[in-house]
A and B are shown apart, each in its own frame.
Chain A
């Protein structure tokens, strides 16, 4: 740390020398070539320095320029940037041209370098602040949905504060993390890499990109391919999401600008599994109180009775009475009743308020914001809250040095509900409850024996009553996070500048997770778990920038940099099992208490260079090189170099094509790059740990053993031969803009070949170990990306555009490791998401029916199909193609935005339906009394004609349901067409022109208002395992939501 301070001090000293140079004063007016009107707010700078100003409301500027500088640059959004040479005159009036082609559009690329879009040899796509605001999503990353091709964003949880899975151009790694790197203002932060990956049970936690206030974001830029991310090195091997936050601006005639954005959002559960209300609790056609199934009597043959002869034993459970036959002689209170399970859900409410202040002078600017986001989920007691504070500022120290910095403090956290394959899981209890049992009639009961017991449909055992889960089991967490950076720019000469940037991302999280002792999962013990964790992410970049015109027509931009990063994580957690005092949740309340620590530390260093050589604004050659050193690989294996090279050719600059009206802009681009990724820490050595002495049947032994602490060699063999995994990637593409930019077309083909991919593999136990980490796998991914940009109408009061993003990805696992054809990525044994050689990554793998060579079901002599003994590949989770179609329609100050999101193909395992078919609660079991002939052939190859019933015996005692039989019938198409966003907004700005109000708009946004899908359950945008590689599992996941938002944005 002291070293960095020294560097800063040195840079400051060197820079201040410039202050005393000789200057002269230049002034003038900037006007538009279109309407000859003055343009306010144009940025006027001396190239290569911090010397600059903005034009006033009259288009006038005054600037003191040191005599040695000979030109000024004028830039303004939507105008072509102009560089004008200074003569001897002190007055310089400038006329700027409209830039309909966005030729000089600048995007932020790797390491926070701004580059002209036209100079790039790879595709980039950006989402701006307006789009982010109007999508009104708590996690800003969700606003990328449908707007950027080849970016898959899955809001996996359907709960307030759940994790978001993001995948750019498919997957690169087999068992390593495939989430992109998040970069804020040039500083990588700890993002999706941390948190939000959960097991098949438990609660859905956030991943850390949710901490960012969306209203602070100026733009989100998605860097997809290797050429785009090569400069970021290891951490961006799965792409990068480059976030640029809002900065202060000096607005002429104004000290402070204020922006206030507020919205209130209402969430409703969007899709739910269809349930049956015709048959009662019970089995084999008879009602039984406390029965686990809904295979009982037909409700219309049954009546409620409170007659003591039938009702006394279980009257606390069957509160409205026991069910008796309509013909029964006992006294009755009325016909059998059913209860709607979905009454459980409430309307979720989110309120979001954010306030920002910004302003500045010629010397300094600042931006300050505060935001508060509070969500109540559709599940009672599911809450999420985020508060953020951000201060960004910069100041010029003389003419040559600019100092800028930012501090962002965030507090996020929530209360989360048990979900998934968990007997306390909310949907599990809710959907398994027969419709004749009323969960809402209380969830705790006095009990003679134990004092208290839970009231649930299985008499307090089995699964938790959903009301019990939402009220008595709790998981809450809170994160305190600080992201800060300082940057110093030193402009030594016109063409050479030096930048140093230091960023810190620090967060601490505390969590508490408890289960009530009456919870069926841990009955009669309950537990209390607490943990604290902290993460520190430090990033330092030292860069030298060269930007020089030489010879005639040549420009050279060179960046040389040195980077150091450190990621440190420490977690401490403790568990108290076997609670003694009910409802007292503390670590001192357990009969056994255990604690553990988790540590992770990685350091990396790099040298990198980026050279852009351009000729006549037509040919752009980009070359990058980076050498990384990492601590996670052994000495000698931990240094590696990877290059990228790209070429962009704006062929419309050719003499014959230049300035033609049909195709004013056309670019062909190609690039080639190698990107690498190191291993996760601690895989190079074999360690000792506490022995795991148990078998597949029992819970086993606990150490220390009567006062003797014990250790055993780990079953995971360290591998000090590990080297980085490597992906070789190339892409070609074209960008064409026709007819004054009324029609734009962009196409990219990319091809990634991953080799030496690191994966954890099982090995023969006779080696002394059962798993190791190897550089063994290879995988190929390629795809097409198309973007269309059409503006059919553009007039003074009307504007209509259509933007289409389409992409498809093909993926094949070429090899795993020697002798290994398949690798478990996640899920349940027998219902798995696997990597499978010769198949696309994320193959659903499970049991099928026995079939003949033509694929027909083989029907047994009893008329039923037969379950196969072997598991097979049953589909690919990832879609065949995806598309986003967005359209803006504006009339004067009223604008309408629609975004359709299409996912074509892709499979998901609907384990929920498989299970509720077994329990008999699903609408799919209404055909239980109907005769049915299974389509298929018998052992002689003849068409089956035997009618059978899909009844209680077949579905629960045999292999008829997904719970007892093959998963194949529950692997469903999870494709969709959805209206992702509908946003209607009206701006009062022109009405309020004469007032102090600079802008006022109101908007209504609807999210997921309409979905068309073949999926039979909740919204198929879901995943049980959160932001993990194993996508495509729905097993009692929380349902997704549709939301209605009303917002107001005010600035003055």
Chain B
């Protein structure tokens, strides 16, 4: 009997031992992936966001290639690019851009912003605000109403509501005001991980001012005070070409400019006849060798409507070299904003002409064009210009200067095609109108029932835009 008792005690002891070890054995901390960090410093997120914005959100092929085709810098000659030229752009064509803007760009900016607040770091907060305002701006300008206030909540809200573009603009300007406050603080430190401005809050402050002017100006169709307000906002803006907010690429594997990679790996586009002929035949513009390549016969030719020739000019080193920069917002743009605002606020014609010539000169300098002789002739020409033709010249020069930047598409809609682009004549009567809107993204349509249906597809207008009567 005693023997059995000992055994029973032994048995109970063993069982308790086995059970006791269970707690430590089932340690759910083991379910943390050792190959992926659960937290990272703000600096490393910032580098990735800036690269993604340059490669996709601001300077990406899925944005700029489309707007540049519609703005007739480029002509699509194959695949989806050819369809874009024919004003076909599908929900699946814009899906990558939409997804990357929300996930790889804005979600990461939200994280930097939250981290900056808890770390009480005004520079990171200000930079995140500037970049978020810029991303919201380019996103809403092609998609109109977009989610923001209900977005970025993960599983807590799998179907975010769409905010009106009006409230998105309120948010953009709010973010920029906050950025100006944060970056203007005396103790705003120089930070790391910033591959655009080297972490200098003073430069980011300039960019914040210029962006604020840009987004105020976008509302000019709705609000006649926009020009005066934008002019005021320019104070403290980007002060020289050297201070442009832009991203530099390199001529190394995995570091090249997105348009360069597209031309290398896909092709599918050439220069368009409209842009080439404007610069080459009409204006003899010295920026042309930077903007486009010469053909084998050493001439500059763009494909006209319906033409798909490969022996024409291709995008040049200003935008499509391996190391071409992607500008986010520039001194040149601020000078054009100034010229337009002076004109619209009834400044003297001399002031307006000077502002325009300053802008064109800055653009020439930015691309290193040999412009002295040309500028002499051009100055004489401008000195005879005034009124509506002068305004048209400002916007035309801005169209040229903002080559392959999606901002040109905003200007074109905002000024109701003051520069006079003709729509693709090969399209049927209903379709030979230049589009003004991106289609909704495929995945958002599939997984978010709040996604609005666009009444007129690509010919819908965003809130600040209206469709001109034909």
CA A683 to CA B103, docked complex, whole Å? 18
Contacts of A604 in B (CB 8 A): 26
Q: A591 to B55: give the CA distance in the assembly, Å.
A: 24
Is A542 part of the contact surface with B, judged by Cβ < 8 Å? yes
Q: Are A681's CB and B265's CB within 8 A?
A: no
The answer, among A629, A682, A708, A717, for a CB contact under 8 Å with B33, is A682
Besides the known contacts A631-B30, A766-B147, A818-B158, 14 further A-B residue pairs in the complex with CB atoms under 8 A apart:
A592-B253, A596-B35, A599-B35, A684-B31, A691-B52, A692-B104, A693-B55, A695-B100, A697-B265, A710-B48, A766-B448, A770-B443, A819-B446, A819-B447
A740 at the interface (CB under 8 A from B): no
A701: B residues at CB distance < 8 A: 51, 55, 254-255
- The listed residue (A682, A706, A711) touching B44 by CB distance below 8 A is A711
Tell whether A361 is near chain B: CB-to-CB under 8 Å: no
**A window 757-781: CB within 8 A of B:** 762-770, 772
List 10 A-B pairs, minimum CB-CB distance, nearest first. Answer: A702-B254, A687-B36, A710-B48, A768-B107, A691-B48, A764-B448, A698-B261, A682-B33, A768-B152, A765-B99
The yes or no answer to B43 lying at the interface (CB within 8 A) is yes
Contact between A705 and B195 (Cβ–Cβ < 8 Å)?
yes
Q: Which residues of A contact B51 (CB under 8 A)?
A: 691, 693, 701, 703, 705, 710
Q: Which of B26, B146, B193, B258 has most A Cβ within 10 Å?
A: B26
Cβ-based interface call for B47 (8 A):
yes
Indicate if A654 sits at the interface (CB-CB under 8 A): no
Q: Which of A214-222, A230-238, A632-640 contacts B (4 or more CB under 8 A)?
A: A632-640
- Asked if B14 and A605 sit within 8 Å, CB to CB, the answer is no
* B:37-82 near A, CB below 8 Å: 37-40, 43-45, 47-49, 51-52, 55-56, 60-62
The complex places the Cα of A705 from the Cα of B43 at a distance, in Å, of 12
Q: Which chain B residues border A14 with CB–CB below 8 Å?
A: 7, 10
Q: Is the CB of A712 within 8 A of B108?
A: yes
Which of A685, A715, A772 contacts B38 (CB under 8 A)? A685
Say yes or no: is A696 at the interface (Cβ < 8 Å to chain B).
Answer: yes
**Taking each of A602, A604, A717, which has the highest tally of chain B beta carbons within 10 Å of its own beta carbon?**
A717
- 8 A-B pairs in the complex with CB atoms less than 8 angstroms apart: A564-B25, A697-B261, A699-B261, A703-B51, A711-B37, A712-B49, A712-B108, A762-B443
Q: Which of A630, A693, A721, A766 contacts B151 (CB 8 A)?
A: A766
Q: Assess whether A768 is in contact with B151, with CB atoms less than 8 Å apart.
A: yes
Q: Does A113 interact with chain B (Cβ within 8 Å)?
A: no
- Restricting to B426-458, which residues have a CB under 8 Å from any CB of A? 441, 443-444, 446-449
The A-contacting residues of B in range 103-132, CB under 8 angstroms, are 103-104, 106-108, 110-111
Indicate whether A450 reaches chain B with its CB closer than 8 angstroms. no
Name the residue among B31, B44, B159 with the largest chain A CB count within 10 angstroms. B31
How many residues of chain A have a CB within 8 Å of chain B?
80
- A689 proximal to B (CB < 8 A): yes
Choose among B28, B49, B107 the residue that contacts A638 (Cβ–Cβ < 8 A).
B28
Is the CB–CB distance between B254 and A765 below 8 Å?
no
Q: Restricting to A815-857, which residues have a CB under 8 Å from any CB of B?
A: 818-820
The reply to whether A717 and B99 contact each other, CB–CB distance below 8 Å, is no
B296 contacts A by Cβ under 8 Å: no
Interfacial chain A residues near B195, Cβ < 8 Å? 705-706, 708
Interface residue A448 (Cβ < 8 Å from any Cβ of B): no
Assembly CA distance A940 to B61 (angstroms) = 45
Interface residues of A in 618-635 (CB under 8 A from B): 629-635
A931, CB-defined interface residue at 8 Å = no
A68 at interface, CB cutoff 8 A: no
- Contact of A102 with B by CB under 8 A: no
Contacting A at CB under 8 A, from B4-30, are: 7, 10-11, 14-15, 17-19, 21-22, 25-28, 30
Q: Which chain A positions have C-beta within 8 A of B299?
A: none
Look across to chain A and name the residue whose beta carbon is closest to the beta carbon of B36. A687
Q: Name A's B-contacting residues (CB within 8 A).
A: 3, 6-7, 10, 14, 17, 492, 498, 542, 544, 562, 564, 591-592, 596-599, 601-605, 607, 629-635, 638, 681-682, 684-703, 705-706, 708-715, 717, 719, 721, 762-770, 772, 818-820
A711, B40: Cβ atoms under 8 Å?
yes
Give the distance to chain B from A697, nearest Cβ to Cβ, in Å.
5
User: Which residue of chain A has its CB nearest to the CB of B161?
Assistant: A766
Interface residue B266 (Cβ < 8 Å from any Cβ of A):
yes
- Whether the pair B154, A717 counts as a contact (CB closer than 8 A) is yes
Q: Are A714 and B36 in contact (CB under 8 A)?
A: yes
Interface size on B, residues (CB 8 A): 84
Query: B residues within 8 A CB of A687?
Result: 33, 36-38
Q: Is B466 an interface residue (CB 8 A)?
A: no
B424–chain A nearest beta-carbon distance, Å: 23
Asked whether B374 is an interface residue with its Cβ less than 8 Å from the other chain, the reply is no
Whether B282 sits at the interface, judged by CB under 8 Å, is no
In the bound assembly, the distance between CA atoms of A691 and B3 in angstroms comes to 67
Contacts of B441 in A (CB 8 A): 765
Chain A CB within 8 A of B88 CB: no
Query: Is B354's CB within 8 Å of the partner chain A?
Result: no
Q: Mark B262-282, 1 if CB is under 8 A from A, else 0.
A: 100110000000000000000
For the complex formed, measure the closest distance between the CB of A821 and the CB atoms of chain B, giving whole angstroms: 9
CB distance from A235 to the nearest CB of B (A): 15
- Assuming the contacts A603-B26, A763-B447, A764-B160, asked whether A708 and B96 have C-beta atoms less than 8 A apart, the reply is no
- Residue pair B151, A767 in contact (C-beta under 8 Å): yes
Say yes or no: A599 contacts B33, CB within 8 Å.
Answer: yes
* Cα–Cα distance between A126 and B40 once the two chains are bound (Å): 54
Output the residue of B39, B158, B448 with the most chain A CB within 10 A.
B158
Q: State how many angstroms separate the Cβ of A487 from the closest Cβ of chain B.
A: 16
| Chain A residues with CB under 8 A of B254 | 592, 699-702
Chain A residues within an 8 Å CB radius of B11: 498, 544
B447 CB to nearest A CB, Å: 4
Expressed in whole angstroms, the Cα–Cα distance for A433 and B96 within the complex equals 37
Which among B36, B37, B103 is the interface contact of A715 at CB below 8 angstroms? B103
Of the candidates B60, B108, B151, B255, which one forms a contact with A713 in the assembled complex, judged by CB atoms under 8 Å apart?
A: B108
B227 in the interface, Cβ–Cβ < 8 Å? no
Provide the bound-state CA to CA distance between A717 and B155, in Å. Answer: 8
Residues of A within 8 A of B17 (CB): 3, 6-7
Question: Is B157 engaged at the interface, CB distance under 8 Å to the other chain?
Answer: yes
Contact B193 A695 (CB under 8 A): no
B446 touches A712 (CB 8 A): no
Contacts of B155 in A (CB 8 A): 717, 719, 721, 767, 772
CB distance from A721 to the nearest CB of B (A): 7
Whether B98 sits at the interface, judged by CB under 8 Å, is yes
Q: State whether A767 touches B108 (Cβ < 8 A).
A: no
Q: Is the CB of B253 within 8 A of A769?
A: no
Q: Does any Cβ of A come within 8 Å of B153's Cβ?
A: yes
A598 to B33, CA, bound (A): 9
Q: Contact at B18–A542, with CB atoms within 8 Å? A: yes
**Chain A residue contacts of B152, Cβ below 8 A:** 766-768
Kindly provide the distance from the CB of A700 to the nearest chain B CB, expressed in whole angstroms: 7
Give Cα distance in the complex from A687 to B98, angstroms: 21
Q: How far, in Å, is A66 (CB) from chain B's closest CB?
A: 14
Is B377 among interface residues, defined by CB-CB distance under 8 A? no
Q: Is the CB of B107 within 8 A of A769?
A: yes
Q: Once the chains bind, are B28 and A635 in contact (CB under 8 Å)?
A: yes
In the complex, what residues of B have CB within 8 A of residue A769's CB?
103, 107, 154
For A598, the chain B residues whose CB sits under 8 A away are 35
Q: Which residue on A lies nearest to B15, using beta carbons?
A: A562
Nearest opposing residue in chain B for A702, CB measure? B254
> For the complex, is B1 an interface residue (Cβ under 8 Å from A)?
no
In the bound complex, do residue A10 and residue B153 qualify as a contact, i.e. CB atoms below 8 Å apart? no
Residue from the list A601, A695, A711, A762 in contact with B446, Cβ < 8 A:
A762
Instruction: Kindly list chain A residues whose C-beta atoms are within 8 Å of the C-beta of B103.
Output: 713, 715, 765, 768-770
Assess the B44–A710 pair: CB atoms within 8 A: yes
Cα separation A706 to B261 with both chains bound (whole Å): 18
Assembly CA distance A629 to B14 (angstroms): 20
Q: Which residues of A contact B18 (CB under 8 A)?
A: 7, 542, 562
Given contacts A498-B11, A681-B31, A706-B250, contact A630 B26 (CB under 8 A): yes
Contact between B30 and A603 (Cβ–Cβ < 8 Å)? yes
Question: Which residue in chain B gives the minimum CB-CB distance to A544?
Answer: B11
